[in-house]
Amino acid sequence: MANIEDTCISLTNPIEADSSSATKLSDSLDIVILPSTTTITTNSNVSNNKEIHPRSVKKQKIADNILLSNISRRLAIRKNLHKRLSFITDIMCFLGILGIILMIIENEITFSQINNNDTMSSWCIKMVISCSTIILIGFIFQYHRLKLFLYAVNNSIQDSRATLTNRKIFLIILEILICAIHPVPHSTPPYLKASLKNIDSNSSISTPYILSYIDIDVALGLPSITAIIGLVGVFSTALVIAVLAQKLLLDRCEKYVHNFVMNIELAKEHKIQAANCVKFAVKVWYMKNRNTSLSSIRYLQVRRRLFQAIHLVQQVKQERGKLIDNCIDQIDLLTMQRKTNAQTYETKEQLKTMKVKIDNIEEKLIEMNTNINNTVNDIQKILNILSAKFLK
């Protein structure tokens, strides 16, 4: 259907009707409504004798306005979520770098001490690191929460909980566990130890410092031994990797068979996931018609499995495309190049031979033309002689 501005017929001249007819002008569409007619708009895709009621035009315009308002609202929410995600990412980056720097400083302070107890500065730094780690974990939760909201907005999902899969939960927990690794302040600072000693002065349990001394010759030899062990490990790892890479490398026949089998498996997986998409879509439609609560666990599980099946279908398509690209390796390219070069050389030789033959044919044609001309001249002379004798 064409646009409203294109289809509406604007009447500039006044229309004279009966005394009972009332001429009304619509403010939004600029059309004239007569009591006896309803033909106001024309459709370019429909024949001229087909009529459209102005109410349908208004309904279509209202639907378009609602759609545009929803799109603008989603874009505004998406922009806001992107800003909040970038702000939280900057804070997380700052806290991570701050924690790494403080851990390096605390490590240097700890190694400069003979005993294993914390100094006042080391204890304070560990407390700051612990506080920053707790704040970082809180920002991690907020980041993934906003990320789920953004994914729901991008895919027109009403409830963001439907996008939370077991894999995402595992990755979030793993990220939190990795970020939670930090030096914990396990001992009290020195100014508290004095008060504790005064309180426990009558205690019979002694807590001597554990001092560990090492010979200077042995201490000087440790770095060289460590370097030698590291070099041996690097060389042995490189050798094992080189040998295993050659052993595990597939030849062309095995590679083609492997690609063929993988293509069959991916095609089967694509059919299964496509069937899952249809099945879970029907389940979602059935649960909506049954007036199931949109926040119920069963409904969220079905929607989650539907989105997971759609994602797996897209992933299988990408893997099949990559598999087709991986079928052609460097050896095949070299073989095709050699065949192309050989065919090009043969074509050039054939063209040269054809050129020589064409030149010979041209020479023979020239010779035949000369002979024909000579023969025609001789015949003409003979005819002239015969005609002269006949006239005598």
pLDDT in tens, 4-60: 334 333 333 333 334 343 333 333 333 333 344 444 444 444 444 445 567 777 777
pLDDT for residue 138: 93
177: in domain: yes
Residues 97 and 37 in one domain: no
Residue that is written with structure tokens 């240097």 in the block = 108
**Pair 165, 103 in one domain:** yes
At which of 327, 349, 366 does a domain end?
327
DSSP, res 8? B
User: Which long-range contacts link 252-256 to residues 24+ away (Cβ below 8 Å)?
Assistant: 252/329, 252/331, 252/332, 255/327, 255/329, 256/327
Last residue of a domain, one of 327, 342, 370: 327
Dist. CA 92–CA 11, nearest whole Å: 64
Up-side HSE of residue 303: CA atoms within 13 Å toward CB?
A: 23
Residue with tokens 């000087």: 220
Asked whether residue 369 is domain-assigned, the answer is no
Residue that wins the pLDDT comparison between 300 and 353: 353
Residue 158: CB partners within 8 Å, gap ≥ 6?
Answer: 152, 294
First to last CA, the chain: 98
* pLDDT higher than 80, residue 277: yes
- Please tell me the predicted confidence (pLDDT) of residue 72: 84
On whether both 37 and 123 belong to a single domain, the answer is no
CB 281 within 8 A of CB 328: no
β-strand partners of 41: 8, 52
How large a percentage of the chain has pLDDT more than 90? 23
**Structure-token pair, residue 135:** 């704040």
Instruction: Tell whether 40 and 92 lie within a shared domain.
Output: no
If asked whether residues 94 and 161 sit together in one domain, one would say yes
Mean pLDDT over residues 87-115, rounded?
Answer: 85
Question: Is there a single domain that holds both residue 21 and residue 103?
Answer: no
158 and 89 in a common domain: yes
Find where tokens 């095995």 sit.
Answer: 254
Residue 302 · residue 290 · CB < 8 Å: no
Q: Which domain holds residue 123?
A: 74-192
Q: What is the mean pLDDT of residues 57-75?
A: 79
Which tokens is 213 given? 């001394």
* Residue 114 pLDDT level (bands cut at 50, 70, 90): low
Domain count across the chain: 3
351 contact partners, CB below 8 Å, separation of at least 6:
none
Given 296, 327, 358, the domain boundary residue is 327
Residues 107 and 181 in one domain: yes
**Half-sphere exposure of 212 toward its Cβ, with a 13 Å CA cutoff?**
5
Grouping H, G, I as helix, E, B as strand and the rest as coil, residue 181 is: coil
181 and 288 share one domain: no
Assign 193 a pLDDT band (cuts: 50, 70, 90).
low
Q: Are residues 78 and 47 in the same domain?
A: no
Dist. CA 174–CA 223, nearest whole Å: 35
pLDDT (0 to 100) of residue 8: 38
Q: Is the dihedral of CA 264, 266, 269, 273 positive or negative?
A: negative
CB of 9 closer than 8 Å to CB of 31: yes
Q: Sorting pLDDT into bands at 50, 70 and 90, what band is 83? A: very high
In terms of pLDDT, which residue wins out, 214 or 328? 328
pLDDT for 308 equals 84
**Mean pLDDT, to the nearest integer, of 322-326?**
75
φ, ψ of residue 38 to 5 degrees: the values are -130, 5
Same structural domain for residues 88 and 32?
no
How far is residue 319's CA from residue 266's CA, in Å, rounded to a whole number?
8
Instruction: Determine the average pLDDT of the residues in 132-148.
Output: 91
Domain-located, residue 221: no
| Residue closest to 185 by CA, chosen among 121, 115, 93 | 121
**Within a domain: residue 346?**
no
Long-range contacts of 233-239 (CB under 8 A, 24+ apart): none
- The pLDDT mean for the chain works out to 76
Over range 218-240, report the average pLDDT: 78
Does 210 or 126 have the greater pLDDT score? 126
Residue 255 has pLDDT above 50, yes or no: yes
Residue 304 in any domain: the answer is yes
Domain annotation covers residue 61: no
pLDDT above 90: residue 355: yes
The answer to whether residue 233 scores a pLDDT higher than 50 is yes
Kindly state whether residue 353 falls inside one of the protein's structural domains: no
**H or E stretch at 96:** helix 54-111
Same domain, 38 and 91: no
302 CB burial (10 A radius; 0-12, 13-18, 19+): buried
Is residue 276 a contact partner of residue 309, using CB atoms and an 8 Å limit? yes
